[in-house]
Structure 1
Amino acid sequence: GIALSGVIVWGIVIAIVAILAIRVLPEVMDYYKIRQAVKAVAAEGSGKTVSDLRQAFSRYAEVEHIQTLSAADLDIFKEDNKVVIAFSYEKRIPLVANVSLLIDFRGSSTGSGSAQ
């Protein structure tokens, strides 16, 4: 059988993992919404100006309820005659008391972005 101390230890481990998942999951989902919006804007971006691309991202952000990143935070440039939209931001997630988790999110329309 399992001793009471073993059950308590496993309960604590499961609680810590659950707290991390509950706090981190919304931020990761927001990152994927931003990445999807950036890729959609870049896909329709040929022949458009930078301000047009920023306005298009703002419309996507309004529909998807993205408040983490604004259109002014995007880096827009051309590479090999393709529009590339890149972004990066940090998110600090408070966990317990003065302990927090810092996640550095970055991505681009070329698919070279990653959550770190």
Structure 2
Amino acid sequence: MLYRSIEKQKGVSLPRLLVWSGILVFISILGMKLIPAYIEYASIKKTLTSITNDSNLQNATVNEIRQSFNKRAQIDNINVINGRDIKISQKDGRRILTVNYFVKIPLAANISLYLDFDTANSSGY
């Protein structure tokens, strides 16, 4: 009779609890390290979009566009790139702003993640 009641008991053993806790901690740490890089990427995309849609920069020179990006990047706390990293080209009467960069995120000791970001925006001018 005692054997049957023990057999019906369900639960999590200590080793299983430790494994799941370790997995949860690893995923949490990974998320805390990755999310800021993706937030900064979204800020860069937003800044490029606002520059391409700005009517005051319709006939701006390359240096004026880069200065505008630097000012907006300072406001948005973008530290990964600056105006010199923007490639500006023309195609079919449209101005195209392109940014390629990577972010190295150290995890532990000699283990790091490399995130490669690439974005482009074109204006309708």
TM-score using structure 1 length: 0.89
What is the match of residue 105 of structure 2? 93
Q: Work out which of the residue numbers 59, 70, 78 in structure 1 matches 2:90.
A: 78
Q: Distance in 2 between matches of 1:79 and 1:69?
A: 24
Alignment RMSD: 1.1
Paired residues of 1:84 and 1:108 also in contact (CA < 8 A): yes
Q: CA deviation at 1:63?
A: 0.9
Q: Distance in 1 between matches of 2:40 and 2:16?
A: 37
What is the match of residue 19 of structure 1? 29
Other structure's SS at 2:40 match: helix
Unaligned runs of 5+ in 1: 111-116
Deviations 1:43-96 (A, max 9, x none): 224222111111111110111111110100000011221111000111110001
Amino acid at match of 1:30: E
Moved more, 17-26 or 37-46: 37-46
1:51 to 2:67 alignment: no
Other structure's SS at 1:57 match: helix
Amino acid at match of 1:32: A
What is the match of residue 39 of structure 1? 49
Q: CA deviation at 1:42?
A: 1.4
TM-score using structure 2 length: 0.83
Q: Distance in 2 between matches of 1:42 and 1:100?
A: 34
Detail structure 1 runs of 4+ shifted over 4 Å in the superposition.
none
Aligned residue pairs: how many?
110
Other structure's SS at 1:9 match: helix
Other structure's SS at 1:67 match: coil
Report which of the two has the higher share of helix.
Answer: 2
Q: Distance in 2 between matches of 1:65 and 1:99?
A: 27
Q: Work out which of the residue numbers 3, 11, 18 in structure 2 matches 1:8.
A: 18
Q: Distance in 1 between matches of 2:70 and 2:102?
A: 20
Identity %: 26
What is the match of residue 74 of structure 2? 62
